[in-house]
Structure 1
Amino acid sequence: MAFLLFLLFQTSTAFLFDAPTTCWAPSSCKCQALSLECDGMGLQSVPMFPLPDKEYRRLTINLSHNMLTDLGNGSFTEIDSTNASVLILDFSNNQISDISPTAFDGIESMVTELNLQNNNFDVIPSAIGDLTRLQSLKLMGNPITTLKSQVIFSLSRNLKYLTLSLDKFSSWPDEMHYFRQLSRLEIDGYQQTRLPLNAFSNIERTLTYLEISRSQLDRIPSVVCHLDNLHHLAFYSNPKTSIPIFEPCSDDVTSVYYLSLRNNSLSSFPDIFSSFTKLDYLDVSENNIHTIDMNKIPQANSLTHLNLSSNGLNRIPYALNRLQHLKALYISNNKISSVEDFDLKNLTFLSNLNLDGNPIEYISDGAFRSQQALRALDLDNTKVTIIPRAITSLTSLQQLQMNGTPIQCTCTMDYLKSLKTNTTNISGVCEGTMEPLSVFIKDFLPFCP
């Protein structure tokens, strides 16, 4: 009991310490939990923040989506009195091109996250280098042409998360070599066709998350092979992507478990398992894949999540049956017109199947015979006119979505009388009457002969 009272006291004091008693935001802003929300207010300058009535451990100030053009001297003179150990500043989606050298006076040791995405910076302002505890810096969407060595060197001591657009750079910025702690890097707009082999020198062992988008690269650069602890790799929206998808690499990339190749205009399923041998999640959505060669999927694979949405598939590829550990399959917005008996026969661990947006007219009675673990089935916006008999074999089904699907609610679906699924978890309406399917199954079907 004494221990429980101690926990209650600790929780209560933390709550009283962090929760605001009154809203001390400027009139153009509002208080929300532990943040001051000043987004989308048409502000042309940083408002004056009145003296807070208490201290905060963590505080977010959101000034995104305004009309700010600069951050002047002492923009946050009163914020230092909060003694916040974590201060998050969001200036994204403004028109800022300049930050005064003293804009962050008094809060240099408080700011841990700074979001300046989608502004008008052509250089990284020197004032940012004075933020001694900055861990996250988002600069994507700015026309930056060069990196200042002194600023980058100052940031390199603590920075762990960086986003950056390279559209205006003539080559890979050498200043990236200053970083020592960087674990997450997102770059877009890189204009060269190859990435230097030493692009990530000094962060080969710290980088765990890498995203490359809107570049002129035609394949995943081989420098990725040298990133010993990389877990998340996204190579998406790169219009020149071709097959083979990976530059020659001497070693298997065994650390990557998440790979996204979304929106790369791929015309065939890439041979990725030969290089990424431990993949758990693969996203190849928004491409132009029509078929999958069985040889592209080895028997020995560990994939559990696959996203094939928004491609050109006319049917569920039989090759997917080699993915025997698959738990989630997203294959929405293709051209699939039917689901047959053997399409999914080996996917016995499948728990989530999304077929939304396909012109499916027919689902065979035995289509889901092997899916005893299936919990969620999405048939939204398909063309089936009855709730398929196949769902009666799904003993674990908890959610069935049929919104936007023209279900004809008649006694021909009397086989649903024995449905074990809770009907309240079936979403959609009867065509014409707009009666909820759950109501039809529960209240009308029992009276069918």
Structure 2
Amino acid sequence: MTTKRNLFVRLVPCRCLRGEEETVTTLDYSHCSLEQVPKEIFTFEKTLEELYLDANQIEELPKQLFNCQSLHKLSLPDNDLTTLPASIANLINLRELDVSKNGIQEFPENIKNCKVLTIVEASVNPISKLPDGFSQLLNLTQLYLNDAFLEFLPANFGRLTKLQILELRENQLKMLPKTMNRLTQLERLDLGSNEFTEVPEVLEQLNGLKEFWMDGNRLTFIPGLIGSLKQLTYLDVSKNNIDTVEEGISGCESLQDLLLSSNSLQQLPESIGLLKKLTTLKIDENQLMYLPDSIGGLISIEELDCSFNEIEALPSSIGQLSNIRTFAADHNYLQQLPPEIGFWKHVTVLFLHSNKLETLPEEMGDMQKLKVINLSDNRMKNLPFSFTKLQQLTAMWLSDNQSMLSRSFNSNFAAVSSFHYGSSRDLHSSQGSLALSVADGRGSGGHVFRMPLSNGQMCQPPRPQANYSQVHHPLPQASVARHPSREQLIDYLMLKVAHQPPYIQSQCSPRQVHELAKQEGIFVTRVQPEGPASKLLQPGDKIIQANGYSFINIDHGQAVSLLKTFQNTVELIIIREVSS
């Protein structure tokens, strides 16, 4: 029987008619503002198997707790513990231990007596080292020590041969012990945000590895030995100083996701095209001047992001990426696109803004599934007439193309000009092309396009750049369903506002606060009258992105601080809820 207890004041479990005490195996005292472990727990020390004390203010654990020798799971995250008593060794049947988000500085040496432990979660603690006894937990399969102060691992760490998941993100590690080459059952290894200067050689022996994070370190190259990881499906080495990826990476024949963003790459290895199972390739924010012809070999690719580089032309072989859905090449030096791009029959989203494009190939009209395209900040005067065939096109950004016009604005703001397919007949010109329009800067611009809301979930705006730090947990899904009984539409508006004043006031009544508190995010509650945003923003608009910075999962103070740093103009993406 499981007894769920959520109130501070509780009733002692009843006894049955025969006068026997009921069997209690699980107790949950999570989120009860407890400062001590409740004494009534010990009434069930012989039968208790699972104990949850999550999110309280408990500072120490009583000795009597460790008399609960039937305990299989002990959950103590988000408390105020500073030590883990040596008497934890009495819990000889303990299989799962969670002491994350506390102030624990070390594990006791005799934790080695908890021989059946399989899962230890101790992330977000000031743990500087692990005792040698920790390496005697031979049944350990999952170990989470993210965001601690670890500088090294025990030399005999390789004894933990049953480890399948090892997360050591956000520590101060510079190397791994050689004995780790024995961890052949390891499937997930997270070494992100440490101080490694090279990929550890022991990695070559971890043949079962499927997911590997080494982002946010000090790597300068990816060695060919990485190719020995035949089962690797996910590799993240973004945010390093990598200038070379050796040809041996082609040996990662199972690789599906490759993240090389924010490095110093000037070229990709020719062997990149041999990664036949690759579905996502992110090489944005590098120094690439071209993509190799072999890129066409990525027959399974669905998302390719090469934005923020120095690419002047795309190879014709790029047309062979027949499964591509999303392509981003914004902020490069592209002057034209190869006609072969028209072979992309499944592409739905194209980001080509901030280049030097003067014309587009007629073949782009064959992209029958294209929904969103951003062509702003280029040099085009016309669009191909074939664009009239794009029946699924939902939105197009075209601002800052006829640059002489866009730079002559004298008003406080300039709205981003957009195109909705339903009005394409109005854009026909006599020259057999679509005339390019630019916003007039007088508040009438800023096309709003709509997408239906399904199941109460918020559709994502075009390419929000979210900055999530928790890579192994599901991302939060926001809901904007205030009236689930009726159909809703979400308006996405992209606009530019002059940077005067530098912030949007967010004063509101207590009732407004109550309503907005039901939703997560940064909402506009008041727009300064006669200000540069007054004609475009409305109370209730949710800000998703500003000048490329995500406003998802940040608080009001962070949002205001960020807006104050912007100069000249602020480019916003907002969500606006309207009735159908």
Query: Which band: TM-score by shorter chain?
Result: 0.5 to 0.7
The one-character-per-residue Cα deviations of 1:38-89 (angstroms, maximum 9, x if unpaired) are xxxxxxxxx4457899x9999976539x8x7x434338799x8xx9987654
TM (norm. structure 2) is 0.53
Q: Give how far 1:412 is off.
A: 2.0
Moved more, 428-437 or 280-289: 428-437
SS of residue paired to 2:273:
helix
Query: How is 1:332-411 mapped onto 2 (pairs within 5 angstroms)?
Result: 332-336=284-288, 340=291, 342=293, 344-355=295-306, 358-359=308-309, 364=314, 366=316, 368-378=318-328, 391-400=341-350, 407=376, 411=382
Q: Give how far 1:263 is off.
A: 1.5
Q: Which residue of structure 2 lines up, in the alignment, with residue 29 of structure 1? A: none
Q: Give how far 1:308 is off.
A: 0.6
Q: Which residue of structure 1 lines up, in the alignment, with residue 478 of structure 2? A: none
Query: How is 1:99-138 mapped onto 2 (pairs within 5 angstroms)?
Result: 99-102=61-64, 112=73, 114-116=75-77, 119-124=80-85, 126=87, 130=91, 134-138=95-99
- Cα distance change, pair 271–96 in 1 and its aligned pair in 2 (3 A): farther
Q: Which residue of structure 2 lines up, in the alignment, with residue 303 of structure 1? A: 255
Partner Cα separation in structure 1 for residue 423 and residue 268 of structure 2: 32
Partner Cα separation in structure 1 for residue 251 and residue 106 of structure 2: 47
Residue pair 1:218, 1:242 contacting (<8 A) in 2 also: yes
The answer as to 2:60 corresponding to 1:90 is no
Partner Cα separation in structure 1 for residue 173 and residue 75 of structure 2: 29
Count of aligned positions: 382
- Cα distance change, pair 271–359 in 1 and its aligned pair in 2 (3 A): closer
The one-character-per-residue Cα deviations of 1:379-414 (angstroms, maximum 9, x if unpaired) are 577787999976532112244467996626964244
What is the identity, as a one-letter code, of the residue corresponding to 1:142? G
Q: Give how far 1:183 is off.
A: 0.6
Q: Which residue of structure 2 lines up, in the alignment, with residue 157 of structure 1? A: 116
Residue pair 1:386, 1:413 contacting (<8 A) in 2 also: no
Partner Cα separation in structure 2 for residue 384 and residue 120 of structure 1: 57
The answer as to 2:192 corresponding to 1:236 is yes
Instruction: Give the fraction of aligned pairs with identical amino acids, expressed as a percent.
Output: 18
Partner Cα separation in structure 1 for residue 58 and residue 283 of structure 2: 41
Partner Cα separation in structure 2 for residue 129 and residue 350 of structure 1: 53
SS of residue paired to 1:259:
strand
Partner Cα separation in structure 2 for residue 173 and residue 75 of structure 1: 33
The one-character-per-residue Cα deviations of 1:96-131 (angstroms, maximum 9, x if unpaired) are 5312345699x9867736242584513347479659
Partner Cα separation in structure 2 for residue 125 and residue 252 of structure 1: 35
Of 216, 219, 229, the match for 1:263: 216
Q: Give how far 1:286 is off.
A: 1.3
Q: Which residue of structure 2 lines up, in the alignment, with residue 14 of structure 1? A: none
Query: How is 1:136-155 mapped onto 2 (pairs within 5 angstroms)?
Result: 136-139=97-100, 142-149=103-110, 152-153=112-113, 155=114
What is the identity, as a one-letter code, of the residue corresponding to 1:292? V
The one-character-per-residue Cα deviations of 1:302-353 (angstroms, maximum 9, x if unpaired) are 32221111212345554422433322212233344x6657262221221222
Partner Cα separation in structure 1 for residue 158 and residue 330 of structure 2: 44
- Cα distance change, pair 126–85 in 1 and its aligned pair in 2 (3 A): closer
Partner Cα separation in structure 2 for residue 219 and residue 442 of structure 1: 60
Q: Which residue of structure 2 lines up, in the alignment, with residue 39 of structure 1? A: none
Which protein, 1 or 2, shows the higher relative CO under an 8 Å CA cutoff with sep ≥ 6? 1
Query: How is 1:42-81 mapped onto 2 (pairs within 5 angstroms)?
Result: 47-48=8-9, 62-63=30-31, 70-74=35-39
- Cα distance change, pair 290–158 in 1 and its aligned pair in 2 (3 A): closer
Unaligned ranges ≥5, structure 1:
1-16, 27-46
Partner Cα separation in structure 1 for residue 10 and residue 340 of structure 2: 61
Q: Give how far 1:275 is off.
A: 4.5
Q: Give how far 1:279 is off.
A: 2.3
The answer as to 2:399 corresponding to 1:416 is no
Query: How is 1:430-445 mapped onto 2 (pairs within 5 angstroms)?
Result: 430-431=398-399, 433-434=415-416, 436-437=418-419, 439-440=420-421, 443=424
Partner Cα separation in structure 1 for residue 76 and residue 384 of structure 2: 54
Moved more, 380-389 or 428-437: 380-389
Partner Cα separation in structure 2 for residue 217 and residue 273 of structure 1: 20
The answer as to 2:140 corresponding to 1:190 is no
